[in-house]
Amino acid sequence: MSTRASTPGDLGQRVTYHRERLSLTREDLAERAGMAPGYVEYVEDNPANVTQGTLVRLAGALETSTDDLLGGGTNRPPGHPGAATKPILNELAPEECLRLIAPGGIGRVAFSGPPGPTVLPVNYQMHDGAVVFRTQAGGPMDQNLRTGLEGVEIKIGFEVDRIDEAKREGWSVLIQGPAHHITPDETPALSGSHVDSWAGGERELSIRIIPHQITGRRIRGF
């Protein structure tokens, strides 16, 4: 007798996310998983309680884990399954680093603030080769990223990483450069680089980081 996955949760959203991450149609996923396209549609659009066997087939087709599809790892840092056997760490060329972070998303800004070294997550987009993110005008980050001297900007770090726990692989990109506060006169030049912040609130100040240094690493299993 087939056993049922105990907690379907937001399974449909996670299936859709991973399918789109792999640029697969529902028909593509159905073929990979050996199931009907209509069933894939049902799982994505409804609170589905699937069998463990179906969950395993979906996870395999989506190149992820059953735990990830059920949201089991959302409240813990990535990397718990342990390292791959004989992991290989390679440096990434600056061009490859920029290609990896080009889609935008969530990164981390690192700077020295009054309390000491500070790292904060931000939503970002790439625009003309620069990183653009938004923050609250007059807020703590705005103030901490100003020198108070005309024409003098603070050099900060910006990091993006992606971890594939199922395959024990991942990459990390670090950019260092000055934090430039976008003035109202410069704002029209940012057309097409709208950044939606997950944190919400009034975040109308755009900050641009022009990369002066770009480094990256990729880790793979042997």
Question: Using one digit for the tens of pLDDT, what is the confidence trace for 132-184?
Answer: 998 888 888 888 998 888 888 999 999 999 887 666 788 999 999 999 998 87
Q: How many CB atoms lie within 10 A of CB 163?
A: 15
Q: How many CB atoms lie within 10 A of CB 63?
A: 13
Mean predicted confidence (pLDDT) in 92-105: 94
pLDDT score, position 113: 81
Is residue 5 over pLDDT 60?
A: no
β-sheet bridge partners, residue 117: 112
Q: Give the DSSP H or E segment for 220.
A: strand 213-220
Q: Domain 11-69 falls in which CATH fold?
A: 434 Repressor (Amino-terminal Domain) (1.10.260)
pLDDT score, position 192: 59
* Cα→Cα distances 87→91, 117, 167, Å: 13, 30, 11
User: Longest Cα pair distance anywhere in the chain, in angstroms?
Assistant: 73
Residues 6+ apart with CB under 8 A from 151: none
Superfamily for 88-220?
Electron Transport, Fmn-binding Protein; Chain A (2.30.110.10)
Contacts 24+ apart (CB under 8 A), 18-23: 18/62, 18/63, 18/64, 18/68, 18/69, 19/44, 19/62, 22/62, 22/63
**Domain parsing of the chain, residue ranges:** 11-69, 88-220
Report the predicted TM-score, pTM, of the whole model to 2 decimal places.
Answer: 0.68
Selected residue with higher pLDDT from 165 and 81: 165
Q: How many CB atoms lie within 10 A of CB 82?
A: 8
